[in-house]
Amino acid sequence: MHDFAVVGCGPAGSRFARRAAQRGFDVLAFEQGAVGEPLACSGHVSTDVWEYTPEGARERLLQNVVYGARFHLAGPDAGAAAVASPVEGADAPAPGESAAGPSASGGGAEAPAPGEATPEAGEGSPGPAASNGGTATRGAVAAGEPGYPFYKDAQVSNVIDRVGLDRELADAARAAGANLCEEHTVLDVDEHEDRVELDVRGPDGTETHEARMVAGCDGPTSRVRRDLGLPEPGELLHGVLGFSAEDDPGDFVDVHLTVPRFFAWRIPRGGAGVEYGLAMPPGGDVSERFEEFTAGYGVETDHRCSGLIPVGPPETVTADRAFLVGDAAAQTKPFTGGGILYGMTAADHAAREIDPADPGTLADYERAWRADLEREIALGHWVRRAYSLPEPIQRAGLSALSGEIGVHMDRPTTLFSVAQLKSLLSR
């Protein structure tokens, strides 16, 4: 019997498999397809990601660096009218939106939130944007109106090759001794008093495997969660992405607060073109809104893909001999939908706390990840509420808060940090 069976080899599953194998446990992991595919993610992450990857991964995976985000209350085409006929005034830059706005390109389903972010800005002023080739200008023009910049005086985040990330993490798990099987779909999970049983369909047919515990790392619509009757996430957002071949070396993300209860984004990806995306509660006209958004930028996208973003967290992510990690546990940032870092953080807590021979240690995992992330997630919900405030209040808030900031994009609690206070006082 194996110590751990892992269902799903995204960032959470591969990270858990690697850490558990490093502790000397016998780990058998299943991925239903090829690791990393199909892509449904912007791969916009804080620089902390490199703490979780094998040596040299940054050189292999990095597509672009991001210094901050420009927030917009209107769509990309709104400012075009203002530029074309400024005297009409209707779309004139608001206080805090200098016509020369900073660089900007940022976001993705992982945009720095207001009060988080990066760049130095101001067209023509020295700073990250200018030092990266003056890309701010191009992004600002593309976004129509200049927006409200949030930035740091250092790199805030990376845009990375997400498929490549998953492969690197899976290879690292294998190197640590985990047996990671691609093209193996887990069909059924049963808990027993002393073990779990998994029915798994692979290229050679369906087999049953036994393990002391099972890690459900199988994403937003987790089978493990469903089979074991664990609570579903409070909400599942629907995200859509598309790519254009534009050559935009910008280093800011553009974030448009123009869709219900979330946002649309534009991310320059270095040599990999430009990504456009949006996420919103399902049931709405997601595709139609995506078309409108990209039309506003005057681009056509291809390689369209979509996915679900769970928002939680649920009351519990552990059962008798099972636990959930990553999107399966809705361990995501409610204000950006980003889950790569939270999933891997929780995976480390699980690998450190859980002894497969002692189901009592599942409670230790539950305590550990909540102690680390639950307050961040709770604050993330508050940040997200700002996306739905009346526009005059949003405008006033963005005007007051935009500029250089001292917060960490994965840690909303740093909104109350000394660094953030200093940034506010130094304006």
Ligand X SMILES: Cc1cc2nc3c(=O)[nH]c(=O)nc-3n(C[C@H](O)[C@H](O)[C@H](O)COP(=O)(O)OP(=O)(O)OC[C@H]3O[C@@H](n4cnc5c(N)ncnc54)[C@H](O)[C@@H]3O)c2cc1C
Please give the residue ranges that form the binding site for ligand X (CB under 6 A).
7-13, 30-33, 40-45, 108-110, 185-186, 217-219, 223, 239, 241, 277, 279, 307, 309, 326-328, 332, 337-341, 343
DSSP 8-class letter at 85: -
| Number of other CB atoms surrounding residue 314 within 10 Å | 17
Q: Which is nearer to ligand X, 80 or 308 (CB)?
A: 308
Place of tokens 């991001």: 66
> 19 or 79, CB closer to ligand X?
19
Q: In this structure, which long-range contacts are made by residues 287-291, counting pairs with CB atoms below 8 Å and at least 24 apart in sequence? A: 287/240, 289/259, 289/264, 290/240, 290/242, 290/264
Preceding omega of 390 cis (within 30 degrees of 0): no
Q: How far is the CB of 235 from ligand X (least distance, A)?
A: 13
Q: Which is nearer to ligand X, 46 or 137 (CB)?
A: 46
Minimal distance, residue 125 CB to ligand X, in Å: 28
> What is the smallest separation between the CB atom of 88 and ligand X, expressed in angstroms?
36
* Nearer residue to ligand X within complex by CB, 130 or 217: 217
Going by the DSSP 8-state scheme, the letter that residue 34 receives in this structure is S
Cβ atoms < 10 Å from Cβ of 320: 12
Q: In the bound complex, what is the minimum distance in angstroms from residue 301's beta carbon to ligand X?
A: 13
Q: Which is nearer to ligand X, 80 or 240 (CB)?
A: 240
For ligand X, which is the closer residue by CB, 96 or 387?
387
The two structure tokens encoding residue 385: 């509420």
- Compute the least distance from the CB of residue 109 to ligand X, in Å: 3
**Beta-strand runs (E) in 123-259:** 148-151, 157-160, 179-181, 185-191, 196-202, 205-216, 235-244, 252-256
Tokens of 255: 């974030």
Of 158, 170, 168, nearest to 272 by C-alpha is: 158
* Per-position DSSP letters for 40-76, written without gaps between them: ----EEEGGGGGSS-TTHHHHHEEEEE-EEEEESS-T
CA 86 distance to own-chain centroid:
37
CB of 334 to ligand X, least distance (A): 12
What CA dihedral angle connects 112, 156, 340 and 345, to 10 degrees? Answer: -110
In the bound state with ligand X, the residue whose beta carbon lies nearer, of 91 and 161, is 161
Q: How far is the CB of 415 from ligand X (least distance, A)?
A: 19
- Look up residue 163 and give its amino acid: V
Rounded alpha-carbon distances, angstroms, from residue 330 to 85, 285, 324, 418: 46, 24, 9, 30
- Residue (113 or 309) nearer to ligand X, CB: 309
Q: How far is the CB of 211 from ligand X (least distance, A)?
A: 14
